[in-house]
Structure 1
Amino acid sequence: METRHHHSRRAFLSQTGKVTAAYAVAGLASGAAQAAPAAPPQTRPMSEAGVSKLTDQHYCLTEVRLEEGFERDGEIVIGTRTALYTLEIKAGKIAALHPAGAALPAGVPCYRAHGQLALPAMRDMHIHLDKTFYSGPWQAPLPRQGKTILDMIAREEKLIPQLLPTSQQRAEALIALLQSKGTTVARSHCNIDPVSGLKSLEHLQRALENHRDDFVCEIVAFPQHGLLHSKVDGLMREAMKMGVAYVGGLDPTNVDGAMEKSLDGMFQIALDTGKGVDIHLHETNPAGVAAVNYMIETVEKNPALHGKVTISHAFALTTLSQGALAETIGRMAAQQMTIASTVPLGSLTMPLPQLSEKGVFVMTGTDSVIDHWSPFGKGDMLEKANLYAQIYRGSDEFRLSRAMAIATGGVLPLDDSGKRAWPKAGDDAAFTLVPASCSAEAVARLPERSATFHRGRMVFGSVGVA
């Protein structure tokens, strides 16, 4: 399974498309929204002689456990073979893989991984870094029952001004959380609305600039309050000039009340600016199916959009008959459209395996870590792989190892035949170390990450001194 996944806020899991969630304004006013972010989490050093900062451009990391192949009983994969290697890292790349005991380059500093397993770096491809409550005082959302998406927009219009003063610091705290979970690549949606204007975007860009050497993030300009409903076409176009990578959108029928006009507006901005599209589509009623079909038709008519459109959540796919689903997936695959799913729990089971098998790239993300939509996110992409394995009955060694692809953008240590696919000399030195025997165990048991590396830089945790 070489997929990527994403999914919507759990507030949209009901089949009616209605959502409930609210945050206690009184609690925010008393300091919850503007409290200074806490220090990012840290793990204990791997040894008392460990180091938590590497400045070397050229170094060796010894005793790294890498996967070598599958163990089989006939045709059944029953285990994973591993061995210890030294990763020689130079200028952000893996320069060489040296077997244990091999002579290492003279004069190059060495550090120890203590036999821990290297996994590919994780990718959080649907998150909202700009409006998180993370790092502030605990506050659960108010009951959701009976609230529509428009109710949520009204609530957010009151919350955003209280979040803006600390939004940059909170975004940076959340980035640190992601790094502590092995994630160094993300796609973040960022509010473009009449309340915050372009300030949320400005704050997020400052946060990302402070992490330009240890974290990569592409931004989606997200009209959370509706492209038409909040009249932000002009603001969206300004955001495109500020370096945003994707044009966002939101439920064109439930929010904007005019499916074709809303989608046309979104796609026109993308066509005019040469950007991609990543739309939140939570609608599960016939309007959601109509929106999916209209988007596919639009991409089919506009070659410039080919390979540049992501539908986040796409709950409408759960309502299709098998025949209609197969046809829709085939058309999406032909246009290289992408699905972003958070692998949701609930009554709607997304056809993620079918999408992947037919060539639609599926990716996942945290969405909400903690905010007025949901308090449950942990910022852990490996947890998403675990959830995928549970939902789609992947409890055996082979399927557990395949499930990790959803967390890594399709990068897996072994290919389906059991041949090593990662890491190889020349690859970016982007990985995380975990106390696990193989990737199947890591997906099933969710070990803590001990260290995270991005382009050769250790951005979280510690390693031992050789």
Structure 2
Amino acid sequence: MHTSEQSRRHFLSHSARITAGGALLASGMAGAAADTIVSESTCKDARQVTSITKPHYQLRNVRLEESFEREGGTVVATNTALYDLEISQGKIIAIQPVKNRVAPSLPAFDAQGLLLLPATRDMHIHLDKTFYGGPWEAPRPRKGKTIMDMIAREQTIIPRLLPDSVQHAEALIALLQAKGTTVARSHCNIDPVSGLQSLAHLQTALQKHQQDFSCEIVAFPQHGLLHSNVDALMREAMQMGVQYVGGLDPTSVDGAMEKSLDAMFAIALDTHKGVDIHLHESTPAGIAAIKYMIKTVQQNPQLKGKVTLSHGFALSVMQGDELKEVINGLAEQQFSVASTVPIGKRSMPLPQLSEKGIFVMTGTDSVIDHWSPFGTGSMLEKANLYAQLYGNPDEYGLTRSLAIATGNILPLSEAGERQWPVLNADAEMMLVAASCSAEAVARVPEVIATFHQGWLVAGTVQKA
């Protein structure tokens, strides 16, 4: 196949012709021509594969972003072209325009002009306690319920979830993969009800997927570190291969902000682990907690760059100099922030955090559990929400919004130069039915294939 640089408009016109052909077939107007189309379609289906067994292969006819198209100083479209990629041992080792193709000596698969994007990352999810994979069950009403009421409710639910939690976690992993996600960070309950069982079950599920899914674990004292007296259990979890010490609302749950945070940080310091704390509090207590954490990291330099503030709703109520001071403090101590990009009366200052160099991540949090039924597992959907909430409806803004879903990996730089994929980059990628990343963020198209460390872990490609 020979191709020249194509803009989104060219690609869409080609797609329209394909759609028109499909409509013609459906209407039965093509006679013998329709028989030919059906025959070709059947052959193509027979060539589809759901796994790639060779670690060294070629992926042909991949659409990569090349540059921005501008009118004056305004980005109005994204130019793309077709390439052949060579994958070996989980790395992209060659990137060649299709016009330079030589006779293949490797197993080859056809991407059929689909757009290649970096795989997405779900950096805040609870794989250990999901309803997903089981029968439909809506959460019980939360109106008028406090977080302590929800914790009491969870204490009755956990024993019911535990027997099937491995299967449910695997089902949720499969959903994430189908949506383009290959890397995650899962919080896992450490509580008096389940003890270390939830952790053991989650590790069993992840062990079964160690070749096709990467996941960090946060030991999460969902019922309160002090309130549920799980310090010893948390320390035991740290010896079981857990990467992060979790925490939860130190004032509203534990009733002692400094004591709770000190206990959390003490575990991290003693075990040389990172910290990822749920902080939902948007009261003055939440603001005080963020400031106290900044001060604690400043006093303990070994924690610098190892603390994630999850949710951090108190940031949404700060303004002016106070917000500026706190953001500067988070940046200086190299905090990261994990946000589900919440919809509400107040908006999280996510763009301001990114502008200061703070690593902003997103996650599903819940696909469906006793807290919420609304998750889809799609990080592209989170990028779409980010673009809507923060006013990025244009071509350039949409391309930048993708960053929150991919760990800041973007195909084009701010200047419009291709910066991904590059030689020797990890083959963490997905093929999507879109002409460019702006369209992928705006329209949240289907993910056709997902690759982790070069392996096809979800969807299909065709044999070339």
Between 1:371-380 and 1:45-54, the stretch displaced more is 45-54
* Distance in 2 between residues matched to 1:84 and 1:49, nearest whole Å: 21
Distance across 1 between alignment mates of 2:103 and 2:118: 25
CA radius of gyration, larger in = 2
Determine which of 429, 443, 446 is the counterpart of 2:444: 446
Q: How does 1:258-277 map to 2 (within 5 A)?
A: 258-277=256-275
Structure 1 CA distance for aligned equivalents of residues 162 and 44 of structure 2? 38
Name the CA distance, whole Å, in 1 between partners of 2:288 and 2:438.
Answer: 39
Q: Which residues in structure 2 correspond to 1:235-384 (within 5 Å)?
A: 235-384=233-382
For residues 43-442 of structure 1, the aligned pairs below 5 Å read: 47-104=45-102, 106-442=104-440
Mark the CA change 1:320 to 1:85 in structure 2 (over 3 Å): closer, same or farther: same
What do residues 229-285 of structure 1 show as CA deviations (whole Å, max 9, x unaligned)? 000000000000001000000000000000000000000000000000000000011
Deviates more, 1:96-105 or 1:242-251: 96-105
- Over 3 Å counting, the alpha-carbon distance change for 1:329 and 1:62 in structure 2 is same
* Superposed displacement of residue 438, structure 1: 0.1
Q: Which amino acid aligns with 1:191?
A: N
2:327–2:353: 8 Å Cα contact kept in structure 1?
A: yes
Cα distance, 1:107 vs structure 2: 2.1
The AA in structure 2 aligned to 1:51 is V
CA contact (8 A) 2:133 2:167 kept: no
- What SS does structure 2 have at the residue aligned with 1:129? coil
The aligned amino acid for 2:154 is E
Measure how far apart 1:346 and its partner are. 1.0
Whole-Å separation in 2 of the counterparts to 1:284 and 1:46: 55
- Root-mean-square deviation over aligned CA pairs: 1.2
Query: Secondary structure in 1 aligned to 2:425?
Result: coil
What amino acid does structure 2 have at the position aligned with 1:349?
S
Matches of 2:55 and 2:141 in 1, distance apart?
A: 51
Whether contact under 8 Å (1:45, 1:52) holds in the other structure is no
Structure 1 segments unaligned to the other structure (5+ residues) = 1-43
Displacement after TM superposition at 1:431 (Å): 0.4
In the alignment, the residues of structure 2 paired with residue 450 and residue 226 of structure 1 have an alpha-carbon distance, to the nearest angstrom, of 41
Measure how far apart 1:48 and its partner are. 4.0
Distance change (3 Å), C-alpha of 1:247 and 1:105? farther
Q: 1:105 deviation in Å? A: 6.4
The equivalent of 2:38 in structure 1 is: none
Between Structure 1 and Structure 2, the one with more helix by share is 2
* 8 Å contact from structure 2 (residues 361, 405) kept in 1: yes
What is residue 9 of structure 1 aligned with on the other side? none
Task: Please give the alpha-carbon distance, in whole angstroms, between the structure 1 residues aligned to 2:210 and 2:56.
Answer: 20
1:141: Cα distance to partner?
Answer: 1.1
1:46 touches 1:462 (CA, 8 Å); kept in 2?
no
Correspondence for 2:459 = 461
The more displaced of 103-112 and 117-126 is: 103-112
Shift of the 105–236 alpha-carbon distance from structure 1 to 2, 3 Å rule, reads farther
Q: TM-score, normalised by structure 2?
A: 0.90
2:395–2:438 Cα contact (<8 Å) kept: yes
Once the 2 structures are TM-superposed, how far is the Cα of residue 320 of structure 1 from its aligned partner?
A: 1.0
Q: Deviations over 1:303-337 (max 9, x none)?
A: 01000001100000111122111111011101100
Unaligned runs of 5+ residues in structure 2 are: 1-41
Partners of 1:322 and 1:406 lie apart in 2 by 25
- State the SS of the aligned residue for 1:101: helix
1:455 offset after TM fit, Å? 0.6
Identical pairs, percent: 66
Q: Distance in 2 between matches of 1:165 and 1:106?
A: 50
Q: Which residue of 2 aligns with 1:7?
A: none
TM-score, normalised via structure 1 length: 0.90
| SS of 1:133 mapped into structure 2 | coil
Partner of 1:35: none
Q: Tell me: CA distance 1:245–1:46, structure 2 relative to 1, closer, same or farther (3 Å).
A: farther
Separation in structure 2 between the aligned mates of residue 355 and residue 279 of structure 1, nearest angstrom: 17
Task: Give the count of matched residue pairs.
Answer: 423
> Counterparts of 2:64 and 2:325 in 1: how far apart (Å)?
40
Q: CA separation in 2, counterparts of 1:242 and 1:142?
A: 33
Distance in 2 of aligned mates of 1:121 and 1:384: 14
